[in-house]
Amino acid sequence: MIRNTVDPELACPIAPVVDIVFSRWTTPILWALHEFGRQRFVELERRIGTITAKVLTQRLRQLERDGLITRTYHAEVPPRVEYEISDLGRSLAPLFASLADWSTANLGKVDQARAHYDSQNR
């Protein structure tokens, strides 16, 4: 039997977007920058709370590389770095708003489905 293998990105055209936007810390970072505007590293770290400095640094670099945030370096003593959501990152706002609406309307149903499933599969 011959199996056709299909690149997942071709099978599902939104897969690359999901990989970029919905990785573990991307949404809280983008939300914080969208909601509260330009912030320094320490402000973001405090606002997100449970993220480590190492992981925040990695995610900020990746988001900058992807064009979703901008990093501004101020040559002062001590140096100051600020992060801000870019226009490209801001263009995700309608997507996030739709997901928030879906969440409000449907997460209760997901919880019910899980409880039903769990009760049937004990």
> What is the secondary structure of the chain as a DSSP string?
-------HHHH-TTHHHHHHHSSTTHHHHHHHHHHH-SEEHHHHHHHH-S--HHHHHHHHHHHHHTTSEEEEEE--SS-EEEEEE-HHHHTTHHHHHHHHHHHHHHHHHHHHHHHHHHHH--
pTM of model > 0.75? yes
Q: Does any domain span residue 97?
A: no
How many domains does the structure of the chain reveal? 1
Range of the domain at 32: 8-91
Domain of 57, CATH number, reads 1.10.10.10
Q: Does any domain span residue 37?
A: yes
Q: Does any domain span residue 13?
A: yes
Q: Does any domain span residue 115?
A: no
Averaged over successive runs of 10 residues, the pLDDT of the chain (122 residues) comes to 65 84 89 94 93 95 96 91 96 90 96 95 84
